Structure 1
Amino acid sequence: MTRYLPVIRLFRSREAGADRVAFIELFFDLVFVFAVTQLSHHLIEHVTFRGALETLVMLVAVWWVWIYTTWVTNWMNPEKGPVRWMLIALMLAGLVLSTAIPYAFDDRGLQFALAYLVMQIGRTLFVVVSYRRVGEPQAALNLTRITIWFVYSAPFWISGALIGGDLQLVLWSIALAIELSAPAVRYWVPGIKASPIESWQVAGGHMAERAGLFMILALGESIIVTGTLFSRAEITTSSVLALLAAFVGTILFWLLYFSHGAEHGTRFISASAQTGRIARLTYTYLHMVLVGGVVLLAVGDDLVLAHPDDPLDAATNAIVVGAAALYLLGNLLFKRSIGRPWLRSHLLGMAALTVLWALAPLVPGMTPLALTWIVNGIVALVVVIDEYVWPTDEEAEREVQEAADSVEI
């Protein structure tokens, strides 16, 4: 008779303190530092509408791999040997995927697609088998549904990589549309129907902390891009001011998310009886918008550092202003989803950025450096207002208790 590992130990305890982030999870994230850097460089080298669409598709794919792995490590104990080795195997596949990013729409599309599918399907099957061996048929069925959705999207990934050209972008977009719709319909499959939302409960503190760590990872990548370019540039007054503007922009982005929002989100999901619903909307979907804003920030900083005093061009204008606007939108939706009202400071900031985007090309002598400082000024004003109107700790706790269990998603 074959002796198996005690699989039941592969799953996290739900006791207090058992939901902390493990070191192997942080180690796993290193691959995604590289992936986000590759995405930024791809857009920097392809500052066109087509390049932006390619970067968007790959960004969503990278995020989708990471967030699904986060759900898995929310349920399974990453400090146990089999789970740890599963994460290490995913790191290797993630490295293969990341190295394909610069040429994913050229001659490495198949490498990107296969690495992506191996990560998504392989990881999910690992969890299916683990749940079946501990006698958890409902959980195993949930993961089986996920596997079926990934298998359904797989032909679009493979055929897109093989065909190439404009059709590749279309087919990969269809693949992602299929996968993005899956959580919204609770992985409905003919014959076995949809997953009950109650079966997707998570450890809220772990989910919120992992999302916050990815935001730090993305913001850190912005600093890497900025520092690397400045180290190679000639030191002038403009280049120093551009470096300072990039640094200030990164700090402002950090403050918008972490000053109040991240901690409020942790309290909100931890206090709720509907953690699966909140994790699906707030941390699975909405954080994609935030990460997209940070990637654009890194690209904009690169463009400004490279040509701080050149006449402002349309691409630089769109990216520098768009990064802040997209990040404000992401924060607005994130904070609304965790019980805050529609924050007027964020809405006004987005409106001001829209006006700036429209008027900046008309201003004589407007440069990328000047535009960046104006954008920083608008975001700084939002941060200051946000600090002033945010409730005290006692008021925030009361809001959390009143709103967490009434959320409808």
Structure 2
Amino acid sequence: MHSRSPVSTVLRDRKSGKAPEVGAIELFFDLVYVFAVIQLSHFLAAHLSGIGALQVAILFLAVWWGWNYTAWAMNWLNPDNVLVRILLAVLMLASLGMSVSLPAAFDDEALLFAGSYLCLQLVRSAFMVWACRGLRLGANYARLLAYSALAGVCWLLGGFLPDHQLWLWALAVVIDYAAPMVNFTIPGFGSAPMSTWPLHREHLAERNRLVFIIALGESILIMGFTLTDLELTAPVVTATLIGFVGLVLLWWNYFAVPSGGEREEDPEGEQQTAIARSAFAYAHGIMIAGAIVVAVSIEQITMHPTGHLDAAVIGCVTGGPVLYLLGNLLYSYARSGALAWSRVVVIGLLVALAVLAGTTHLLTPLALAGLATLCMLGLAVFATRAEAGQGQG
């Protein structure tokens, strides 16, 4: 009796054609990112400036890419395999190192952040090259590994050269994010086009839905921690209610059916992978970034509901929903192939609201938050009515 080969046990059984279930070890891995999202929110709250926003954007993009590539790898890996579980434990430890170092990533703990991120990216890709050896997917991951190593040079140099850290890490992010857009092309060694990454989109959809809910849950935690340190005055309670309604509306609009319905299913084809890249790798990253900014805005409004409305607060209160809606717009378009004009209209309203708040100085932080929430409520009502109309049709 012949034993099964390592490849057949490490990789998922895809012969059934069914989307693979999300394994318990995958959910366990995601727990680290609850901490990461909280750390990012605190970093942004402590650095509400142009440079601070750029720094937190770089850190977020690295954190998101680490999670995203792991979610994609688990589309092929068998979560019940012992080696895969050990891999995820190692990746979880690297993610924890990233998360711990976030508050001082542009200071004393730059090397811890860069080293943890590089470990996360290189170990995963190297494991995939081994697990998929002899398959086209293995060659694809070898190219991804090369791009991660190239970006890693910039990450490490940034850790060693603090005076050049910002632009080196920005360059590293560009390399990481541009790699799939150019199909991981290596001159003289070919490329890895979308058609050579067969996957089950529903597995990725479930992973991304769960991590989006994690991001919303982080906002609930921040809201609760903020309230424990404040006197529950009428403005504070009102700000909390507005913030809570705003979070519910983010959730509501996320699950709203996009206009035009779902594209025709293509379980293993090129279109499936292209849809997944836009809808999950990029769109969800933008939406979760928006949710993080919304969390910071809730904290700022709750702590100073009737205080001075400065540019940083305006940017958080309106910029968070705008970021979210931009991601939601891309998500909807990737799924349906149709542009959701309702989201475009609400983005325009939020931008106009930000201009009004910045030029007239007539609004308090609480009033601005209330108006921004009304914009999101209008979108939720429209989406619900549109969904009901499609169901009757």
- AA in 2 matched with 1:44: A
- AA in 2 matched with 1:143: Y
Taking the aligned partners of 1:47 and 1:9, their CA distance within structure 2 comes to: 48
Taking the aligned partners of 2:116 and 2:85, their CA distance within structure 1 comes to: 19
Aligned 1:189-204 pairs, distance under 5 A: 189-204=186-201
Taking the aligned partners of 1:394 and 1:144, their CA distance within structure 2 comes to: 50
Q: How many residues align?
A: 388
State the 1:123 CA deviation: 0.8
Indicate conservation of the 8 Å contact 1:269/1:278, yes or no: no
Aligned 1:24-35 pairs, distance under 5 A: 24-35=25-36
The residue that corresponds to 1:402 in the other structure is none
Q: SS of the counterpart of 2:383?
A: helix
Question: Please, which of 131, 134, 148 is the counterpart of residue 146 of structure 2?
Answer: 148
Long gaps (5+) in structure 2: none
Normalising by structure 2, report the TM-score: 0.94
- AA in 1 matched with 2:139: L
- AA in 2 matched with 1:385: F
Aligned 1:290-305 pairs, distance under 5 A: 290-305=287-302
Q: What is the aligned-residue identity percentage?
A: 37
Indicate conservation of the 8 Å contact 1:9/1:80, yes or no: yes
State the 1:379 CA deviation: 0.7
The residue that corresponds to 1:181 in the other structure is 178
Indicate conservation of the 8 Å contact 1:268/1:339, yes or no: no
State the 1:393 CA deviation: 5.2
The residue that corresponds to 1:252 in the other structure is 249
State the 1:7 CA deviation: 3.1
State the 1:392 CA deviation: 2.6
Q: SS of the counterpart of 1:47?
A: coil
Aligned 1:95-244 pairs, distance under 5 A: 95-132=96-133, 135-136=134-135, 138-165=136-163, 167-244=164-241
Indicate conservation of the 8 Å contact 1:208/1:266, yes or no: no
State the 1:344 CA deviation: 2.1
Superposition CA RMSD, Å = 2.0
Structure 1 residues 341 and 7: alpha-carbon distance in aligned structure 2, compared to 1, 3 A threshold = closer
Structure 1 residues 88 and 271: alpha-carbon distance in aligned structure 2, compared to 1, 3 A threshold = closer
- AA in 2 matched with 1:379: M
State the 1:265 CA deviation: 6.1
Q: SS of the counterpart of 1:312?
A: coil
Normalising by structure 1, report the TM-score: 0.90
Indicate conservation of the 8 Å contact 2:198/2:268, yes or no: no
Taking the aligned partners of 1:280 and 1:340, their CA distance within structure 2 comes to: 14
Taking the aligned partners of 1:383 and 1:272, their CA distance within structure 2 comes to: 33
Which of 269-278 and 61-70 deviates more? 269-278
Indicate conservation of the 8 Å contact 2:263/2:337, yes or no: no
Taking the aligned partners of 1:79 and 1:283, their CA distance within structure 2 comes to: 24
Indicate conservation of the 8 Å contact 1:204/1:275, yes or no: yes
Question: Please, which of 334, 339, 349 is the counterpart of residue 337 of structure 1?
Answer: 334
- AA in 2 matched with 1:106: D
State the 1:6 CA deviation: 3.2
Residue 9 (structure 2) pairs with residue 12 (structure 1): no
Residue deviations 1:215-256, cap 9 Å, x none?
A: 111111111111110122111111111111110000000011
Indicate conservation of the 8 Å contact 1:204/1:269, yes or no: no
Taking the aligned partners of 2:227 and 2:267, their CA distance within structure 1 comes to: 42
Residue 38 (structure 2) pairs with residue 37 (structure 1): yes
- AA in 2 matched with 1:123: R
Taking the aligned partners of 2:6 and 2:198, their CA distance within structure 1 comes to: 23
Structure 1 residues 120 and 4: alpha-carbon distance in aligned structure 2, compared to 1, 3 A threshold = farther
State the 1:341 CA deviation: 2.3
Which of 8-17 and 72-81 deviates more? 8-17
Taking the aligned partners of 1:70 and 1:150, their CA distance within structure 2 comes to: 16
Taking the aligned partners of 1:256 and 1:272, their CA distance within structure 2 comes to: 29
Which of 58-67 and 386-395 deviates more? 386-395
The residue that corresponds to 2:377 in the other structure is 380
Indicate conservation of the 8 Å contact 2:10/2:81, yes or no: yes
The residue that corresponds to 2:53 in the other structure is 52
Aligned 1:77-88 pairs, distance under 5 A: 77-88=78-89
The residue that corresponds to 1:289 in the other structure is 286
Long gaps (5+) in structure 1: 396-409
The residue that corresponds to 1:407 in the other structure is none
Taking the aligned partners of 1:279 and 1:371, their CA distance within structure 2 comes to: 35
Taking the aligned partners of 1:331 and 1:209, their CA distance within structure 2 comes to: 16
The residue that corresponds to 2:75 in the other structure is 74
- AA in 1 matched with 2:74: T
Structure 1 residues 174 and 86: alpha-carbon distance in aligned structure 2, compared to 1, 3 A threshold = same
Q: SS of the counterpart of 2:336?
A: coil
- AA in 1 matched with 2:230: A
Q: SS of the counterpart of 2:132?
A: helix
Which of 363-372 and 146-155 deviates more? 363-372
